[in-house]
Chains A and B, each alone.
Chain A
Amino acid sequence: MTCHELDERLDDWVDGALTGAEALAVESHLAGCAQCRGRERQLRQLLAHAAALPRGVAPPRDLWPGIAERIERGSFWSALAASWHPLVLAAAAAVVLGLSMLLWNGSGPEAVRTVAMPGTSPSLRPVTVTGIADPVLAAAARDYEAAATALLEALQRRRAALPPEDLARVEANLEVIDRALEEVRQALVKDPASPELNRMLVATHRKKVDVLRRVVRLSTAL
């Protein structure tokens, strides 16, 4: 066995992976070659060194606060997603389906009034709708509008606490609901007496309030 051949087998030798004739050949070469014995000693020294390294190394700083923050934020969004998306989808689906049937026999437009909260982004403005014929439904819609306004104000106060990307997601999803409300409102001005449209408007308001309530409650827990 040459020194080069031994060098090729040295790793297997120190790992105890050689047996029989190969092991004997290595042993024999090492007995007569001081240079290769030096290499073997060096490799064993390196491996002992590596095995002696502690498995654990302390992080230079406490990493837990960052982990806890991400977990809590993740819980916030997963809780929100679990409750929110079905509501948004249900609202949007109901509006699209309802409107496609009701607008088949549409009527003329009427005035629509929108009230903006000063200093807020468009998606966080409360929307006030007129034109509900049924007085009971009209009262319910007003109650929901008032609740939505209060919740939007609460959310406004939490704006600074919410990470910008999270706030953007809240706004984007509220826009979906507001678009649904706008669709119903446009249909209502054409056919204010439609009981289906009246009920749809109130139901969409209720969904918006439900979603806002969840957002505010969960954002307060952040």
Chain B
Amino acid sequence: MEGLAGVASGDARVLMSEDHDRRAAEMRLVRAAQQGDLLAFERLYRDNERKVFGLCFRLSSDPALAEELTQEVFVRAWRKLGSFRGESAFSSWLYPLTLNVARSERRSRGRRDARIVATEDPERLERTPRAPAPEAGFDLEKAIATLPKGARAVFVLHDVEGRTHEEIAAMLSIAPGTSKAQLFRARRLLREALVS
């Protein structure tokens, strides 16, 4: 007789099979897009737009800039698609690309200060897309948007996206100790916002 362990094992096999099928379908789309099929690339975009936009939005705390960054990510992804070999999921391949776009945007544009000032405008934050807050009275998305950019990036990557300090250090070209210090700062500021 099949026990609970057997049922669980069967469920795991089904999940692995579904994941394999999904990756295979994704790779077919990638190969078609690599051959110049824009419709296939649009499918890849539709499958990943929310993740990329979510990360861009949280890193920039500016919905209009997040739209530009998201578009830039996918334009660059199209150009670099030939280098994608399918060793990882397409979304994993997009992740460092998204961070690079967000970082290069911050470096290259002189409007950074204007963005920070704009973020402090409460009406602007009212217009931002946000996830529903699980706790009434505290909007975490809004509070994240008020963090200094370095602390915000580390908090988003560590506590929202679940990355380790070593991964963050490599992705942001900083020391792991700097990542920890920025996380400490971000959490401190958010805790203050939580009680205020």
Contacts and interface: CB of A to CB of B under 8 A. Distances in A.
Interface string A47-91: 101111111111111011011101110110000000000000000
Given A53-B141, A71-B78, A42 B194 contact: yes
9 contacts: A11-B187, A49-B138, A49-B140, A51-B162, A53-B160, A54-B54, A57-B53, A57-B54, A63-B53
Contacts of A75: 36
A37 to B, nearest CB: 14
Interface string A1-45: 000000000010000000000000000000000000001001101
B57 A57 contact: yes
B50 A56 contact: yes
A110 B20 CA distance: 76
B54 A56 contact: yes
B131 A57 contact: yes
A111 B39 CA distance: 56
Interface residues of B, number: 45
Interface residues of A, number: 30
Interface string A104-142: 000000000000000000000000000000000000000
Nearest to B57: A57
Contacts of B183: 11
Given A42-B194, A59-B49, A59-B66, 4 more contacts: A43-B187, A56-B50, A60-B63, A64-B45
Contacts of B79: 74
Contacts of B78: 67, 71, 74
A62 to B, nearest CB: 9
A51 B54 contact: no
A46 interface: yes
